[in-house]
Amino acid sequence: MPTIMTPAMKKNLFAALFFFSISFCLAYSLLTSDPWDFWNNLVATLIGIAIGIPVGLFVNRRQTEQEEEKRSRIEGEQRKKHVTKIISLLQSELSEGLRGLRRIRDRSRIDTWIEFDPIKVELWQAFSDGGELQWIDDPDLLNTLAAAYHHLSLHNVYQKSLLDVRCNSAFSSDVYKEAITAIHSRIKDRIEESIKVVEAGEQSCGRLIEGGQKEKQPI
């Protein structure tokens, strides 16, 4: 079992080492042909150590700080690029979804419309499942994006309902017409609001990307 040194033992050890060092220096100075030269060299050495060690430690610490600052700056730039890439892809998907909503708005004016025109939301789902959204540290932007994709997904559900009604041969003509009319009514009630929400999400992405590009421009 290793011996644990107490504070008193450490103090005695340092005292013994100090006494031994002084005794050695005195003995060596008596044996040398020029004691004064020995003491001059010893003092110069001690002064060099006293000055050199703190200076060396300061230089090393400063180099470490500069390397850490450089690493942090590089990591920050890489993070910004990654976030900008994610936002750019989401903006593209929202733009496509916005066009899809406008097509739905136009088609919903025709009472017999039952075409299934799915809106792409796979990127948002993939980023959400893969943890990529954690790179976006703006809660307001995340809330805006979540609302936009909620509306896109909602209209996918509505369109899927239209398709299910059309494919269900068990419905009578009256029930079929009533079901189609009810779904069309939901779409018409929500479509304008959905377009505004998705537009807000797309514009928020655009402002963030534009702001990042301005930061890169030299002043």
Determine the pLDDT at residue 173: 73
CB of 91 within 8 A of CB of 149?
Answer: no
Determine the pLDDT at residue 34: 57
Pairwise CA distance, residues 94 & 130, whole Å: 19
* Residue 45 Cα distances to 39, 50, 59, 88, 91, angstroms: 10, 9, 20, 63, 68
CB of 195 within 8 A of CB of 98?
Answer: yes
Name the pTM for this structure. 0.64
Determine the pLDDT at residue 162: 78
pLDDT in tens, 134-190: 888 888 989 999 999 999 998 888 888 877 877 776 666 777 778 777 887 888 888
Q: Which residues of the chain have pLDDT under 50?
A: 1, 219
Domain boundary assignment for the chain: 66-110+118-219
Determine the pLDDT at residue 219: 46
Determine the pLDDT at residue 1: 46
Question: What are the tokens at 98?
Answer: 């916005």
Phi, then psi, of 112 in degrees rounded to 5 = -90, 5
